[in-house]
Amino acid sequence: NAGVTQTPKFQVLKTGQSMTLQCAQDMNHEYMSWYRQDPGMGLRLIHYSVGAGITDQGEVPNGYNVSRSTTEDFPLRLLSAAPSQTSVYFCASSRAGPRNQPQHFGDGTRLSIL
C-alpha cells in the first residue's frame, strides 16, 4: 500500500538547472497538489489538479509548471532553478468527494539550489 510516492527524496541543483519532481499515487484520487514548506511559513500551495488534464495555480506558482496526463501522476517541473526555490516539497492527494476528505501527503523532497 504505497499511498503517495515522491521521488527523489533529496536533490541539489545549480542555479539555472531544470528538473522534475515526481509524484505518484495509487489510491485513484482525483485531487492532487504540490506544496512547498519553508521555515516559519507553513505549507504553501504551488499548483493543484482536480483530475487528469486539469490543473490550476495555487498561492505561489511562479517558477513551476505542472501537468496531469494520468490520474496517478502529477509531476512538478522547475524550468530554471533559483536559490529562492530551495525548500521541502510535498505532494498530496485526496478524493474529490465531500470536501472534508483529508489529504494524504508524500514523504517530501528536500531540494537545495546552489
Partner 1 sequence: AQKVTQAQTEISVVEKEDVTLDCVYETRDTTYYLFWYKQPPSGELVFLIRRNSFDEQNEISGRYSWNFQKSTSSFNFTITASQVVDSAVYFCALREGAQKLVFGQGTRLTINP
By CB under 8 A, name the binding residues for partner 1. Answer: 31, 33, 35, 40-45, 48, 50, 58-59, 88, 90, 92, 94, 96, 99-105, 107-108
Long-range contact pairs involving 92-97 (C-beta distance under 8 Å, separation at least 24) = 92/4, 92/32, 92/33, 92/34, 92/35, 93/4, 93/25, 93/27, 93/29, 93/31, 93/32, 93/33, 94/29, 94/31, 95/29, 95/30, 95/31, 96/29, 96/30, 96/31, 96/50, 96/51
96 vs 114 by CB, closer to partner 1: 96
3 vs 63 by CB, closer to partner 1: 3
17 vs 37 by CB, closer to partner 1: 37
Shortest reach from residue 43's CB to partner 1, in Å: 4
14 vs 28 by CB, closer to partner 1: 28
Shortest reach from residue 80's CB to partner 1, in Å: 26
Shortest reach from residue 84's CB to partner 1, in Å: 19
State the amino acid at position 102 in one-letter form. P
